[in-house]
Amino acid sequence: MAETIKVWDPLVRVFHWVLVAAFFIAYVTEDDLMTLHAYAGYVIMGLLAVRIVWGVIGTRYARFTNFVCSPATTLSYVKDLIRLKAKRYLGHNPAGGWMILLMMIALVLTTLTGLVVYGVEEHAGPLVNYVNVLPRWLAKGFEEVHEFFANFSLLLIFIHVGGVIIESLLHHENLVRAMWTGKKEIKE
């Protein structure tokens, strides 16, 4: 049996899988089940807030300083990945680190624009008193931006899953299992 090391703490793992579920629920409910859609959006907002704080004060592999690398390091990593010679990282690799930031930014923008749309369209949510005075054309613009960022987030998720598959094959490890158990094999 190979020796393992704890990489992903419970907060990171729960964040990841609850975010997967909440995004899926929000994406598929869209206009049909607005209350469920809104609750899923609130869950996403809460998760992001907690994860941002945990990215600053959390455990070693959860901290942004552990996995957000310079653009030069990231570009070098991507070039090595294309040549199938990318170095294995216990935590997130440089490309994965930037993907996490990009997904978090896209999701923050999705939820914020969603709050505006929810206030204008449904006369509900925490921003309703601030956004109900917006002209209709501006509210419609927020709806388009919200849909753009939701679809952009979905695109990033597909790229993320593709990266996980490539990394799993390249380094002969099951990264999905690692995100469930929190453990990765120690390899020389």
Residue whose pair of structure tokens reads 């998760």 in the numeric block: 47
Which of 26-35, 72-81, 161-170 has the least mean pLDDT?
Answer: 26-35
Going from N- to C-terminal start, the domains of the chain cover: 4-185
Decide if 39 contacts 46 (C-beta within 8 A).
no
Quick one: pLDDT band at residue 183, thresholds 50, 70, 90? very high
pTM for the predicted model, two decimal places:
0.92
Decide if 122 contacts 114 (C-beta within 8 A).
no
pLDDT digits (tens, 9 = 90+) for 85-131: 999 999 999 999 999 999 999 999 999 999 999 998 888 899 888 88
pLDDT of residue 33: 92
Collapsing DSSP to helix, strand or coil, 89 comes out as coil
171: amino acid identity, one letter: H
Is residue 154 predicted with pLDDT exceeding 90?
yes
Quick one: pLDDT band at residue 171, thresholds 50, 70, 90? very high
Quick one: pLDDT band at residue 136, thresholds 50, 70, 90? confident
Quick one: pLDDT band at residue 134, thresholds 50, 70, 90? confident
Is residue 187 predicted with pLDDT exceeding 90?
no
State the greatest distance between any 2 C-alpha atoms of the chain, in Å, as a whole number.
Answer: 64
Decide if 118 contacts 40 (C-beta within 8 A).
no
Quick one: pLDDT band at residue 14, thresholds 50, 70, 90? very high
Query: At what angle are helices 94-122 and 71-82 packed, to 10 degrees?
Result: 110
pLDDT of residue 137: 85
Which stretch of DSSP H or E encloses residue 44? helix 34-57
pLDDT of residue 26: 96
Quick one: pLDDT band at residue 132, thresholds 50, 70, 90? confident
Q: Note the CATH number of domain 4-185.
A: 1.20.950.20
The tally of CA atoms less than 13 A away on the side-chain side of residue 163 is 20
pLDDT of residue 188: 59
pLDDT of residue 93: 95
pLDDT digits (tens, 9 = 90+) for 15-63: 999 999 999 999 999 877 999 999 999 999 999 999 999 999 999 999 9
